[in-house]
Structure 1
Amino acid sequence: MYRLFVAVALPETVLAELKPLCGGLTGAKWADSEVMHITLRFIGEVDGGVAEDIHLALSRINAPAFELTLAGIDCFAQAGKVHTLWVGVEKAPLLIHLREKVQSALLRSDVKPEPRRFRPHVTLARFRNGANDGRFGAYLQHNSQFRSSPFPVSSFTLFRSHLGTGGAYHERLAEYALQTGRRSPHLLSGGAPASAQGS
């Protein structure tokens, strides 16, 4: 089985700008820079045949490249407990356009639609038992004006997530270029996802 998601990877320069934000709170499991990304669509577990269909559908997406800027810091909470700390993304119509293209491509591969509203972000930390550090409010206020350098987005990526006791490892299966004309996807694993490894 393949646990898949589609995302925009971040350049090293932006990852370096995020690094100073990752610290100063107890109880936080900070994300490694290697797994930071902007999720376009979490897919979940599929078999090899569906993974192949997804790859082919994504490879047919034709969308323009664009520029992004990360900005602001916020959190997700449930039942009054903060479980995720994240950095947001400045308004970017072409990012929304790409997300819609990805959604349509996945529907053609019989992947169920995502019911949740799309809120692009980069996860910084997760809290197993909620954020109970008394400095959390001060941390949010101190970093609320964070703004990254603008960076170009010239591709998007199909990732396979491997779960383990030490956390998730994300394997890049295929990368798809963004531009105005026709193009072929660049396969990072030496072949289509379904044949990259045994299912």
Structure 2
Amino acid sequence: MRMFTAIPIREAVADELHRWVQEHRPSLPFRKWTHPQDYHLTVQFLGEVTEDRLEELHIALKSVQVQPISLALNGGGIFGQTSSPRVLYGSVTGDRDGLKALHASVLESTEPLGFLPEARPYSPHITLARNYSADAKLPFPPGLLESMPSGASWLADRFVLMRTHMHSSPMYETVYEYSSPS
């Protein structure tokens, strides 16, 4: 099973992102668009996890202390070349220290099980689309990022363990949820 931990995006916030996507999607030749039910902030990508290791992973993640994190949309950006980006994403602002602390706690809980952090720095974002078409006649319009949603806020009071179902839409399934104390 291909798995990762993530912070879910509240439905109202996902709806705002989806409205922007629907408006601009016809003019943006990305090959793969994220289903709005799949919008999330990745905490740690875990990769392939066998069924027999799922329970020990769940136990390790239950040890993570979840504190509420205040977040808000903050425009967007791209990863990759400006002319042909690999990823279009929504940016977040707010309690970035809280995000980093959750990320560090999740890494600390999974490392003894052999799950290693990625080599690149942690960069929380909401992936909206992937793989701008190299066949596109026009480069990605960078000014378009200025119109991406900003301000919609939510309190992230949980994170989840998700499973990927490749070639499905939506493709992510919540397996376990870990919440802040009431």
Higher RCO, Cα 8 Å, sep 6+: 2
1:90-169 matched pairs, under 5 angstroms: 90-91=93-94, 92-127=96-131, 129-130=133-134, 132=136, 134=138, 136-137=140-141, 140-143=144-147, 146-164=149-167, 166=168, 169=171
Gaps of 5+ in 2: none
- The residue number in structure 2 matching 1:184 is none
- The residue number in structure 2 matching 1:52 is 55
CA offset at residue 20 of structure 1?
A: 2.2
Q: Does 1:7 align with 2:20?
A: no
- The residue number in structure 1 matching 2:46 is 43
SS for the counterpart of 1:86 is strand
TM-score between the two structures when normalised by the length of structure 2? 0.86
Give CA-to-partner distance per residue, 1:127-179, whole Å, 9 cap, x none.
Answer: 253483637325534425x3132101111000000112x55611110000123
- The residue number in structure 1 matching 2:77 is 74
C-alpha root-mean-square deviation of aligned residues, in Å? 2.3
CA offset at residue 90 of structure 1?
A: 1.0
Gaps of 5+ in 1: 182-199
Instruction: Give the direction of change, closer, same or farther, for the CA distance of 1:98–1:136 in structure 2 (3 Å limit).
Output: same
Aligned length: 177
- The residue number in structure 2 matching 1:171 is 173
Identity of aligned residues (%): 27
Instruction: Give the direction of change, closer, same or farther, for the CA distance of 1:131–1:40 in structure 2 (3 Å limit).
Output: farther
Runs of 4+ in 1 over 3 A off after TM superposition: 78-81, 128-133
